[in-house]
Amino acid sequence: DADVTQTPRNRITKTGKRIMLECSQTKGHDRMYWYRQDPGLGLQLIYYSFDVKDINKGEISDGYSVSRQAQAKFSLSLESAIPNQTALYFCATSDPRTGDSNTQYFGPGTRLTVL
Amino acid sequence: GQNIDQPTEMTATEGAIVQINCTYQTSGFNGLFWYQQHAGEAPTFLSYNVLDGLEEKGRFSSFLSRSKGYSYLLLKELQMKDSASYLCAVHNQAGTALIFGKGTTLSVSS
């Protein structure tokens, strides 16, 4: 089984709809991240969390919100989706205590299309 | 501020050697990562450098020069499956997250 899972894997929605993307991990890592990827722009950090009570904005947090329901779960919400939020979204985890230099491990991604 | 530059595209032939360069500017350095990403898939970790020099892992090697703000990823004995994007990343100023370059798309032909 995959260590980092994301649901749904693909989603098509309409402008103005509320969307939630979910991420779960079995790696036991404390740190979790949400990125979006657009063609030619690389990965951009949306939000990150170091534990259940710690939430931090990344480079491009406007229009997004997150919830860290448990150590293993980190959800990303688009309260009112707009077409320029069409992108590939990745969740990642890391833990500096594991001795792997705080390497980030990525989920398989969610492809979101906003019409 | 922080900035990462890497070439957008590169092409190479099966069996050849290719070097993908990355230059970075960061106010605090906590290591440099290389990731591989096949189209539509998740990035996967390749290497991490925090000290100057060359780190070798099979067909892949990564080099770092902190004084020059420069790294490269060296891929030997190229295979078709090496066709992918290669992402260079450094920690942000607070050391709390990674800042990624835009990636270099490598195409390997036979």
Q: Is A108 on the interface with B (CB under 8 A)?
A: yes
Residue A102 has pLDDT above 80, yes or no: no
Give yes or no for a contact between B64 and B32, defined as CB atoms under 8 angstroms apart. Answer: yes
Q: What is the pLDDT of residues A36-46, one digit of tens each?
A: 999 878 899 99
What pLDDT is stored for residue B80 in this prediction? 97
**Which string of DSSP letters, residue by residue, matches A56-87?**
EE-TT-TT-EEEEEETTEEEEEESS--GGG-E
3-class secondary structure, A6: strand
Q: What is the longest distance spanned by two Cα atoms in chain A?
A: 43
Interface test with A, best of B102, B104, B105 (most A CBs within 10 A): B102
Residue B101 has pLDDT above 80, yes or no: yes
Contact A88 B40 (CB under 8 A): yes
- Torsion A44-A50-A52-A55 (CA) sign: negative
Q: What is the pLDDT of residues A25-72, one digit of tens each?
A: 999 999 999 999 998 788 999 999 999 999 999 989 999 999 999 999
Distance between start and end Cα atoms, chain A: 33
Tell me the pLDDT band of A97, cut-offs 50, 70 and 90.
Answer: confident
Closest partner residue to A106 (CB to CB) among B42, B99, B102 is: B42
